[in-house]
Amino acid sequence: MQSGTPFPHTLTDQFGRQVDYIRLSITDRCDFRCTYCMSENMEFLPRDKVLSLEECLRIVKAFVKLGVSKVRITGGEPLVRKNALWLFEEIGKLSGLKELVTTTNGSQLVQQAQTLKAAGVKRINISLDSLNPTKFKEITRVGDLDKVLRGISAAQKAKFDNIKLNTVLMRGINDDETLSLVEFAIAQNIDISFIEEMPLGEVDHHRESSFVSNIETLAKIQTKFELISSEINTGGPARYWQVKNTNTKIGFISPHSHNFCEACNRVRISCKGELYLCLGQEDKIDLMPLLRAHPDDDSALITAILSSMQIKPKGHDFDLKRAAPAVVRFMSHTGG
Ligand code: SAM
Ligand code: SF4
């Protein structure tokens, strides 16, 4: 496509699904090493193989031009990337964008919550898998629970439109904390989502034996709390329930027990500039060579994004029983 050619204002895939949401991983690095997300000795990418923040911005601008209205900045841990705030501020200024959101492990929020809010971040997801400091350290291998809890308080003080905890339950590890995590969310007036563990990347534990289905988690929560099925649809894979007489919603992101692909509205961009059309499939287009070959002209980038819609797969194919991971790349690389 030549510069100046008008673009369609929406991205629609071959199955008629409209893509209006991107998740961009701005780093594969992290200050934690969660057991379900990374192996103990992760090797991180050399700097020149990772998108610069300017390249990240070019990609976001191109998608916004094509009708994307929601951007999630993720990682790795996005807030450990040097100068990440600059990117948040630049994206926050884009007209056409309705929502800038981020997912973080919370470790940097004491210092960064206010500035992120000021940059235009509307909603924030904070991962929290345990309220027990010893177990928290076991799961994250290096994380400090107290720092994350102080980060959650800082986010509350910054008054984001919404704060949601993200929890991955693992059998025999933290599944005994299901109810206490819900109680914590209620006490804090925030939401919580339970994410089923996905077979992304080779990790050091056996995913099949640690897997906890969200069907089981929902039933456990219903033994203690009255849940009202919520019509809320964030355009994402989560199904929400309101906890009666509270401000807390509980989401269930269930790639195994509930296939959410039919309403998929998103694509992901890895920190290497790979445009992944599905979290659970390998279909992708490498944007980095296009960005670097045409530093001052986005038409090749726009053409690539438009044509990627033809290869967005119908759905993922997660199967925990398979010996090899469904997808060899880690969530920290693609961006959760
Ligand atoms: N570091 C940030 C964090 O932990 O929130 C953002 C990146 S992290 C990859 C995004 C989300 O993916 C986190 O909520 C994490 O719990 C989740 N996650 C990572 N690996 C996963 C896996 N294999 N299955 C399910 N969720 C996973
Ligand atoms: Fe880091 Fe987030 Fe992965 Fe944990 S889940 S290792 S905090 S990227």
Each residue of 318-332: pLDDT tens digit? Answer: 555 554 555 556 666
Return the ligand number nearest the Cα of 140.
2
Grade residue 264 by pLDDT with cuts at 50, 70 and 90: confident
Grade residue 260 by pLDDT with cuts at 50, 70 and 90: low
Instruction: Report the percentage of the chain scoring pLDDT > 90.
Output: 74
At 198-222, the pLDDT tens digits run 877 777 777 778 899 999 999 999 9
Average pLDDT over the chain reads 90
Cα of 56 to ligand 1 centre, how many Å? Answer: 20
Mean pLDDT of 6-11: 73
B/e letters for 316-331, b = 16+ CB within 10 Å, e = fewer, are bebebeeeebbbebbb
Cα of 218 to ligand 1 centre, how many Å? Answer: 20
DSSP state for residue 138 in the 8-state scheme: H
Residue 108 is predicted with a pLDDT of 98
Mean pLDDT of 36-45: 90
253 or 46, greater pLDDT: 46
Grade residue 58 by pLDDT with cuts at 50, 70 and 90: very high
Reply yes or no on whether the pLDDT at 82 is more than 80. yes
Grade residue 85 by pLDDT with cuts at 50, 70 and 90: very high
**Is residue 332 in contact with ligand 2, taking CB distance under 6 Å?**
yes
| Burial class, 206, CB count within 10 angstroms (exposed 0-12 / middle 13-18 / buried 19+) | exposed
Query: Which domains, and CATH codes, for the chain?
Result: 11-334 (3.20.20.70)
Atom of ligand 2 nearest to the CA of 30: 1
As given in the structure block, the two tokens for residue 161 are 């439109």
Return the ligand number nearest the Cα of 210.
1
As given in the structure block, the two tokens for residue 50 are 């990772």
B/e letters for 75-110, b = 16+ CB within 10 Å, e = fewer, are bbbbbbbeebbebbbbbbebeebebbbbbbbbbbbb
Cα of 221 to ligand 1 centre, how many Å? Answer: 22
Reply yes or no on whether the pLDDT at 4 is more than 70. no
Residue 2 is predicted with a pLDDT of 45
Reply yes or no on whether the pLDDT at 3 is more than 50. no
Using alpha carbons only, what angle is made at residue 259 by residues 255 and 264, rounded to the nearest 5 degrees?
Answer: 95
Query: In 3D, which of 282, 187, 159 has the Cα closest to residue 243?
Result: 187
Give, for ligand 1, the residue of 127, 128, 171 to mutate: max count of ligand atoms closer than 8 Å to Cβ.
127
**Is residue 37 in contact with ligand 2, taking CB distance under 6 Å?**
yes
Residue 201 is predicted with a pLDDT of 74
Residue 1 is predicted with a pLDDT of 46
Query: In 3D, which of 87, 32, 252, 259 has the Cα closest to residue 164?
Result: 252
Using alpha carbons only, what angle is made at residue 137 by residues 131 and 143, rounded to the nearest 5 degrees?
Answer: 95
Q: Which of 68-72, 228-232, 239-243 has the highest mean pLDDT?
A: 68-72
**Is residue 197 in contact with ligand 2, taking CB distance under 6 Å?**
no
At 136-167, the pLDDT tens digits run 999 999 999 999 999 999 999 999 999 999 99
Cα of 156 to ligand 2 centre, how many Å? Answer: 21
Phi, psi dihedral angles at 47 (to 5 degrees): -50, -40
Mean pLDDT of 8-23: 89
